[in-house]
Amino acid sequence: MFKRSQRLEAPANVTDKITQLNDAKLTENGLSPTGETGRVLLLACGALAREILALIEINSWSHMDLTCLPAIYHNHPERIAPAIAEAVAKHRGSYEQIFVVYADCGTGGALAKTCKDLGVEMIPGPHCYSFFEGNDRFAKIAEEEFTAFYLTDFLVRQFDAFVIKPMGLDRHPELKDMYFGNYEKLVYQAQTEDPTLTAKAQDCAERLGLAFERRFTGYGDLETALKPLKARN
């Protein structure tokens, strides 16, 4: 009974956690687990924190806890697999199961190998753009859409931190064509209905000199991948 009442309270805690999230901290520092309620630890990219917590709240997945690596590893994929290995070693003793909420994410198979060696599962697919769109659908459209530059809700909010500053476009706007000259459009994959974010995404497209397209994806295969993770009694 005690466990059950704990589960029913969890969504309210999740709501608090979502409210307290800070995108800049998710980018640079990631997110610590609560260490209290979960028996399944989701070890995720910081860029997915809001979406995962939203799914936990919507589905009352109170058996799940979340910790995130710094989202900026998106720009440094070589750091992902070693950081995952370190985090799994750190948290393994505290949880019954750890699920890695990353796709390949530019690691060139290194993350899949690390996960296999550690005996933990991860999300299938090449990257979050793919699993938000749905891996099967993305694979089909990617053949025709390779001149698209993708942004998710998180990347729209953190556009300067992930695109403008690391590429030096704040200091050297003349480099824009060297980076984006071969792209044709910016596709904003919207996880939520948020007119403010859509306007910001459109502004991002204008700054890069690209056509703009908004595509609502919702949570796509992210939800499908997390759903089977059951609490083990």
Partner 1 sequence: MSEEEDIILSELDDEELVQQMFDDLYDGLKEEIEEAVNILLERGWAPYNILTDALVGGMTIVGADFRDGILFVPEVLLAANAMKGGMAILKPLLAETGAPRMGSMVIGTVKGDIHDIGKNLVSMMMEGAGFEVVDIGINNPVENYLEALEEHKPDILGMSALLTTTMPYMKVVIDTMVESGVREDYIVLVGGAPLNEEFGKAIGADGYCRDAAVAVEMAKDYVARKHNQMNA
Q: Shortest gap between Cβ of 76 and partner 1 (angstroms)?
A: 11
What single-letter DSSP state applies at residue 60? T
Q: Considering the complex, state which of residue 18 and residue 167 has its C-beta at the smaller distance from partner 1.
A: 167
Stretch that binds partner 1, among 31-39, 52-60, 177-185, 210-218 (CB under 8 A): 177-185
Kindly tell me which of 146 and 216 has the beta carbon lying closer to partner 1. Answer: 146
Beta bridge partners of 44: 68, 101
Q: Which of 172, 215, 227, 230 binds partner 1 (CB under 8 A)?
A: 172
Q: What end-to-end distance do the CA atoms of the chain give, in Å?
A: 13
Q: What is the largest CA-CA distance in the chain?
A: 63
DSSP code of residue 231: P
Place of tokens 């403008």: 164
Footprint of partner 1 on 51-90 (CB under 8 A) = 77
- The Cα 184–Cα 112 span in angstroms is 31
**String of contacts with partner 1 for each residue 115-134, x by CB under 8 A:** -----------x--------
Backbone angles phi, psi at 148, to 5 degrees: -100, 140
Which of 9, 90, 140, 146 forms a contact with partner 1 (CB under 8 A)?
146
- Interface with partner 1 by CB under 8 A: which range of 14-22, 34-42, 172-180, 198-206? 172-180
Distances in Å between the Cα of 39 and the Cα atoms of 51, 62, 83, 222 are: 19, 9, 21, 19
Q: Does 107 bind partner 1 (CB under 8 A)?
A: yes
Among 167, 192, 223, 224, binds partner 1 (CB under 8 A): 167
Per CB under 8 A, the list member of 90, 137, 140, 171 interacting with partner 1 is 171
Contact with partner 1 (CB under 8 A) among 8, 58, 117, 168 = 168
For 7-16, b/e burial (b = at least 16 CB within 10 A) is eeebbebbee
CB 208 within 8 A of CB 228: no
Q: How many CB atoms lie within 10 A of CB 48?
A: 27
179 belongs to the binding site for partner 1 (CB under 8 A): yes
- Interface with partner 1 (CB under 8 A), residue total 22
Question: Residues interacting with partner 1, by CB under 8 A?
Answer: 77, 104, 106-109, 126, 142-143, 146-147, 166-169, 171-172, 175, 178-179, 182-183
